[in-house]
């Protein structure tokens, strides 16, 4: 089963890595470079999973997650945080609060990303 994913990541080089890592997989994905762009995208495109960076300029990952949670139409959207540096703790707190379906710790490689998606697919 392909998974439909929106990635939210402000670093272009990481977006490039994600794109290359998922090349040849059945998954469908789209990219957003910031929180508000991602929120628009998930509302329009209705993916299964939102995988978002935490520390970003403008609307950050935690604010994005809160906005998603506040939107009843998005209650089936699963959220995964990608975290670098010390903000990981904040994301873990968020995760503990429920709703976070997984956690991707930077640095990660293509194998880790594919494994995460496979796990999400199985849980479907």
Partner 1 sequence: MSPGRPRRRARPLRVADDRLRTVLDGVGDAILIRQLPEDVITFWNQGAAETYGWSASEVRGKVAHALLQTSFPVPVETIMCRLRQTGHWRGQLRQRRRGGMEAVVESRWTLLPGAVPEQLMEVDRDVTRPAAMEIALREVEQHLRSVFDHSPLGICTVALDGRVLTANPTLHRMLRMEAGGAQTHAFAGIVHVDDGAAVRAMFARTATGGAQPVAVEARLRRADGSVLWARLSASVVTDPSGGPRFHVAMVEDIDERRQVDAAMERVNARLEALNRDKGRLLSEVSHEFRTALTSIQGFSELLRDQDLGPQEVRELARDINGEALRLDRLIEDLLDLDRMESGAAPLHRQPVEVNPVVTALADRMRRTAPDHPVVLRLAEGLPAIQAEPDRLTQVFTNLLSNAVKYSPAGSPIEVSSELIGDRVRVTVRDGGPGIPADWLERVFDRYTRLERDSRVEGTGLGLPIVRQIVQMHGGSVSAENAAGGGALITVELPVSGGPEVPGDAGANRVL
Q: Measure the CA–CA gap between 83 and 88, rounded to whole angstroms.
A: 5
**Which residue's CB is nearer to partner 1, number 87 or number 103?**
87
Q: Measure the CA–CA gap between 83 and 97, rounded to whole angstroms.
A: 17
Work out which of 84, 92, 99, 103 binds partner 1, going by CB under 8 A.
84
The answer to whether 110 contacts partner 1 (rule: CB under 8 A) is yes
The answer to whether 21 contacts partner 1 (rule: CB under 8 A) is yes
Work out which of 1, 72, 76, 86 binds partner 1, going by CB under 8 A.
86
Among 37-45, 66-74, 85-93, 116-124, which window interacts with partner 1 (CB under 8 A)? 85-93
Work out which of 33, 39, 65, 116 binds partner 1, going by CB under 8 A.
33
- Cβ neighbors of 99 (< 8 A, separation 6 or more) are 65, 69, 78, 79
Residue 118 φ then ψ, to 5°: -60, -40
Among 5-13, 40-48, 67-75, 91-99, which window interacts with partner 1 (CB under 8 A)? 5-13
- Give the DSSP H/E element, type plus range, for residue 47: none
Angle between helices 88-96 and 61-70 (to 10 degrees): 20
């Amino acid at each position: 089963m392909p998974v439909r994913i929106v990635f939210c990541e402000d670093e272009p080089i990481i977006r490039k890595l994600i794109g290359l890592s998922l090349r040849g997989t059945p998954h469908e994905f789209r990219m957003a470079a910031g929180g508000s762009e991602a929120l628009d995208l998930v509302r329009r495109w209705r993916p299964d999973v939102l995988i978002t960076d935490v520390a970003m300029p403008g609307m950050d990952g935690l604010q994005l997650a809160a906005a998603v949670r506040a939107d009843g139409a998005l209650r089936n959207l699963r959220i995964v945080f990608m975290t670098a540096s010390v903000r990981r703790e904040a994301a873990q707190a968020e995760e503990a609060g429920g709703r976070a379906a997984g956690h991707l710790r930077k640095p990660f490689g293509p194998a880790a990303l594919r494994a995460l998606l496979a796990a999400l697919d199985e849980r479907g």
